[in-house]
Amino acid sequence: KKIFNPAETERVIHNIQNTKFSIFIDETSDLTNEKWMTFFVRYVDSESLDVRSQLVKLIDIDARDCSAEKLFNAFQSEMYKFQIPFTNILSLSCDNASVTGKHVSFNLFNFFNAFFQAHETRIHLLHSKSVNFLLQISKHFLKPEALNHLLTNITFSDQINHKSINDINLGFDCEEYLHDLAKQGHADVIQNIRENCTQFYVTAAEEIRKRLPVNDKFLYKLQVFKPDIVLFENNRETSFIDVSFVSKSLGGFDEDGSRFLQVYLNENGLKEEWLVLYHDFTVDEKQNLSKLNFDNMWKTILNIIQ
């Protein structure tokens, strides 16, 4: 703690009291095994216009209880002590800290990113996860009847589709903060925060629909290779429509799209293989296969049927 120059700390605090900034929070330990939480910020210096990344403080925390709630309370205490408005925070990044359900929106982004950073194949889940991601964000600010049109022609920014401003879900912590502001008589600030949060949801929904494959037909069809369909779906004629679509999209089949390349399935018809796959395994074998991850399940299936 002695490494901090009081004058420099005061200058940084003054800057972030009066400008927007991003914050990074992390837990760390020193050589004596004491626990600390970093209060690290990144902002644009209003005088030089340089982007600055600076450590504001190492916050002493109780090593016996480093829950997300305790960390937030410690951080909140420092914000109040330094008189830094929460409304100045543009974004928050946390590393290896446990996160509770109170931080709903950030959780959704983090969980989505983490899910697709796995080593195993998950592309067959990309469409459904993307649609669900969009749905979870949209539930916070859209009326229930508007949720049925997420993938088509709904205009997220149209207020006719929005819940009442006071019914929009901002999360437990934000609502507590607004409650404190209300007791202090800052109704105008509360309205501004609610409007800004609504705009965040609108922008997030627009970007998710634009950037993620929520309307991608090929990725939608890939869901046919999920274990519950591959192993347990008995309407094979119907599900083969999706298999055929995927095969034709990928190529590597003969003209009528009915066979894998000889090197893979020894000229057995693709449709025939799909139809009999349901009967190739006992119920117990299917249950065991379904417990494997996607890659190992398909490796096992191909080793058995070849």
Query: Which is it for strands 35-44 and 51-61: parallel, antiparallel or unpaired?
Result: antiparallel
Query: Which is it for strands 35-44 and 21-29: parallel, antiparallel or unpaired?
Result: antiparallel
- At residue 137, the pLDDT reads 92
Ranges of each domain in the chain: 6-100, 105-211, 218-305
Question: What span, in angstroms and rounded, lies between the C-alpha atoms of 178 and 187?
Answer: 9
- At residue 102, the pLDDT reads 40
Secondary structure percentages of the chain, helix, strand, coil, to 5: 55, 15, 30
pLDDT at residue 139 tops 80: yes
- At residue 251, the pLDDT reads 66
Which H/E stretch holds residue 36? strand 35-44
- At residue 2, the pLDDT reads 47
- At residue 29, the pLDDT reads 58
Type of residue numbered 201: Y
